[in-house]
């Protein structure tokens, strides 16, 4: 026998117990222990731990429910915001369209307002031009008349009958002026 | 031959020792025989449980529990053999 | 039965189990020996575990609380729900006490300097098997009534008339005698066999160490010893589980006779 075997083995002496038939003292200590354990477990430990676990289950359930609710709410809110944004965009494009229309209208009005003036001015310019033309023609006729008279006087050197002469010149000018 | 006879003479003087020896032989044989059936049985139980688990992995938990139950019932026979062994040798 | 050759000494089985009294020595009923102390430990350890778990109870479990709660979960999901069903929840404290008591008195087998499973003595297994026998019969009688329970137990449905007497006798014996006997013997024999295995290899290791520690072969039994120690941890757990689940099966059978 050696030291380690000694440590493992039980002590010598005393009647060795039967390996199968239970000993009364061991049965009694075992029953006592199991009874106490069962009492503590049934009255104290199991209900307490069950309560904790149920509380956790409930809390997790509640949290999940709350998260679900929050998600639904958030989705509703998002839908609202989406529709609001769409509305705002429609409004903005409507405003822009209106402004564009207004500008067009103003332009048309301005154009309409300015047209008679332009026409008037154009007419006036036309009449001015006409007048100037007439005046110039008259001037030219007078000049040509006097020039022709001078030239004729110089050519003829004699005084013709004034009236016959004027008629002659007039005829000439008439033919020239045409 | 003479040796054997001499040995028989020696043993004949001590019937207690014959009893002890026969008990030991019986216990050893008894336990060995008791272990054969449960050995095969546990093999069958576990093998079929593995087949079941491989076929339907989703029911593995239930199969495992039932497998342990089957092992427990089968194993009891081998353990009774072990108890008989102890009874014969020590009680 | 002493085998003494080459310095090998295998202790007798009586010798392995003969523990001197520590308290109340000489008293037939109250002598407290090592086995009794292991039973006390098997009571105190779970109580301590649960007390710690409850005292530091938090919504998010840590440490001890995780162990306690996962064991509760384990017994509920793998034992009660698989065998009895939801109406077996009222047996939870009983099954949990069984599980913890058996597990903690088994696990001393591998705890250094104790190294004796409490259930290697017939005391606790026999006592627990008796308790289980009383409980499942009481449950059956309470839920079905005495005669109906008795009838449902010994006469399984769908047996042809000619076989009935034989089957009734077999069922009677198997339910009322074999069940508690096999419960007790299964637990006891498993733990005693494990203990003897460990002792054998420990003795071998020690003897080889004493004779020549430098030979490498010395370590062979030691390696086996370590492997067996791990295996015995598994066995300790498995036996507690099997005892508990068989109890649940018996209770379930008494509650729902058609199964």
Which of A3-7, B23-27, B50-54, C32-36 comes out lowest in average pLDDT? A3-7
> What are the tens digits of pLDDT across the range C205-215?
877 777 766 66
Cβ neighbours of A22 in B, within 8 Å: none
The answer to whether C65 and C53 are in contact (CB under 8 A) is yes
Give the pLDDT confidence score for residue A66 in this predicted structure: 94
Q: What is the pLDDT of residues C80-89, one digit of tens each?
A: 988 888 888 9
The rounded mean pLDDT for chain C is 85
Cβ A26 vs Cβ C121: under 8 Å? yes
Number of domains in chain C: 1
Say if residue A6's pLDDT is above 50: no
C23 backbone dihedrals φ, ψ, rounded to 5° = -120, 155
Distance from CA of C52 to the nearest CA of B (A): 30
B20-90: what fold?
F1FO ATP Synthase (1.20.20)
Identify the pLDDT of residue B11: 67
ipTM of the complex: 0.88
Q: Given A10, A27, A38, which is nearest C127 (Cβ)?
A: A27
Closest-CA distance, B4 to chain C, in angstroms, reads 24
Can you say whether residue C18 is alpha, beta or left, with left for phi > 0 and alpha for psi between -120 and 50 degrees? Answer: beta
pLDDT at C3 over 70: no
Q: Say whether residue C186 is in contact with chain B using an 8 A CB cutoff.
A: yes
Mean predicted confidence (pLDDT) in B33-60: 94
Length, in residues, of chain C: 259
On chain A, the residues whose CB falls within 8 A of the CB of C127 are: 22, 27, 30-31, 34
> In the predicted model, what is the mean pLDDT of residues A105-112?
91
How far is the C-alpha of A170 from the C-alpha of A148, rounded, in Å? 10
Mean pLDDT (whole number) for C225-254 = 92
Tell me which residue of C135, C66, C53 sits closest to A38, measured CA to CA: C135
Closest residue in C to A29 (Cα) is C36
Collect all residues with Cβ–Cβ distance below 8 Å to C222 and sequence separation of at least 6. Answer: C201, C205
| b/e map C102-117, b = 16+ CB within 10 Å | bbbbbbbbbeeeebbb
List, for residues C132-152, the tens digit of each pLDDT value.
999 999 999 999 899 999 888
- d(CA B91, CA A17) in angstroms, rounded, equals 9
pLDDT of residue C216: 56
Q: Write the residue in B69, B83, B90 that is nearest to C245 by C-beta.
A: B69
**With 60 as the cut, is the pLDDT of residue C7 above it?**
no
Residue of chain C whose alpha carbon sits nearest to that of B59: C82
When mean pLDDT is compared across A36-40, A130-134, C217-221, the lowest value belongs to: C217-221
CA distance C6 to A102: 121
The residue-averaged pLDDT of C230-259 equals 89
Chain B nearest CA to C186, separation (Å): 6
When pLDDT is cut at 50, 70 and 90, the band that residue A177 belongs to is low
Q: Is it the case that residue A63 has pLDDT exceeding 90? A: yes
- B12 has a pLDDT exceeding 50: yes
The highest-confidence range among B60-64, C11-15, C93-97, by mean pLDDT, is: C93-97
Of C185, C238, C249, the CB nearest to B79: C185
For chain B, give every domain's residue range. Answer: 20-90
Q: Does residue A3 have a pLDDT over 70?
A: no
pLDDT of C16 over the 90 cut: no
Average pLDDT over residues B63-71: 89
d(CA A121, CA A119): 5
Domain range for residue C212?
Answer: 4-255
The Cα C40–Cα C251 span in angstroms is 27
Residue among C173, C225, C34 at smallest CA distance from C117: C34
At residue C56 the predicted structure's pLDDT band, cuts being 50, 70 and 90, is confident
Alpha carbons B79 and C185: distance in angstroms, whole number: 7
**Looking at the partner chain, which of C14, C83, C189 has a beta carbon nearest the beta carbon of B83?**
C189
Average confidence (pLDDT) over C37-51: 92
**How far is A64 from chain C, CA to nearest CA, in Å?**
15
């Amino acid at each position: 026998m050696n030291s380690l075997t000694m440590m493992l083995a039980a002590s010598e002496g005393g009647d060795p117990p039967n390996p199968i038939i239970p000993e009364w003292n061991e049965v009694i200590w075992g029953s006592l222990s199991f009874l106490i354990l069962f009492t503590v477990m049934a009255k104290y430990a199991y209900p307490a731990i069950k309560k904790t676990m149920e509380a956790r289950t409930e809390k997790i359930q509640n949290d999940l429910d709350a998260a679900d609710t929050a998600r639904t709410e958030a989705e509703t809110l998002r839908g609202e915001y989406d529709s609001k944004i769409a509305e705002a965009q429609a409004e903005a494009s409507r405003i822009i369209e209106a402004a564009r229309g207004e500008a067009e209208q103003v332009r048309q009005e301005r154009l309409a307002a300015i047209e008679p003036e332009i026409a008037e001015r154009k007419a006036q310019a036309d009449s001015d031009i006409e007048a100037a033309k007439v005046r110039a023609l008259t001037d030219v006729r007078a000049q040509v008349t006097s020039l022709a008279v001078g030239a004729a006087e110089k050519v003829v050197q004699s005084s013709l009958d004034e009236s016959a002469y004027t008629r002659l010149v007039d005829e000439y000018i008439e033919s020239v002026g045409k | 031959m003479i040796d054997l006879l001499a040995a028989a003479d020696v043993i004949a003087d001590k019937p207690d020792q014959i009893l002890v020896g026969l008990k030991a032989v019986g216990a050893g044989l008894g336990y060995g025989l008791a272990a054969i059936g449960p050995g095969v049985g546990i093999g069958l139980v576990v093998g079929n449980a593995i087949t079941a688990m491989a076929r339907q992995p989703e029911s593995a938990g239930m199969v495992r529990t039932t497998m342990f139950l089957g092992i427990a019932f089968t194993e009891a026979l081998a353990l009774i053999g072990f108890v008989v062994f102890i009874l014969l040798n020590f009680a | 039965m002493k085998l003494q050759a080459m310095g090998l000494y295998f202790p007798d089985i009586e010798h392995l189990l003969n523990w001197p009294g520590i308290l109340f020595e000489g008293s037939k009923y109250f002598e407290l020996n090592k086995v009794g102390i292991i039973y006390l430990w098997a009571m105190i350890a779970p109580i301590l575990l649960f007390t710690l778990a409850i005292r530091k109870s938090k919504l998010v479990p840590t440490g001890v609380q995780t162990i306690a709660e996962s064991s509760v979960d384990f017994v509920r999901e793998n034992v009660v729900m698989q065998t009895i069903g939801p109406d077996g929840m009222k047996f939870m404290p009983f099954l949990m006490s069984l599980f913890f008591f058996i597990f903690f008195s088994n696990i001393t087998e591998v705890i250094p300097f104790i190294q004796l499973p409490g259930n290697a003595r017939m005391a606790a297994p026999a006592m627990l098997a008796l308790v289980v026998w009383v409980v499942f019969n009481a449950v059956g009688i309470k839920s079905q009534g005495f005669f109906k329970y008795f009838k449902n137990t010994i006469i399984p449905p769908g047996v042809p008339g000619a076989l009935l007497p034989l089957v009734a006798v077999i069922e009677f014996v198997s339910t009322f005698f074999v069940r508690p006997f096999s419960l007790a013997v299964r637990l006891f024999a498993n733990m005693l066999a494990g203990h003897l295995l460990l002792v054998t290899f420990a003795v071998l290791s020690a003897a080889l160490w004493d004779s020549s520690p430098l030979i490498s072969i010395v370590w062979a039994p030691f390696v086996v010893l370590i492997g067996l120690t791990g295996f015995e941890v598994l066995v300790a757990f498995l036996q507690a589980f099997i005892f508990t689940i068989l109890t649940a099966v018996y209770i379930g059978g008494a509650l729902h006779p058609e199964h």
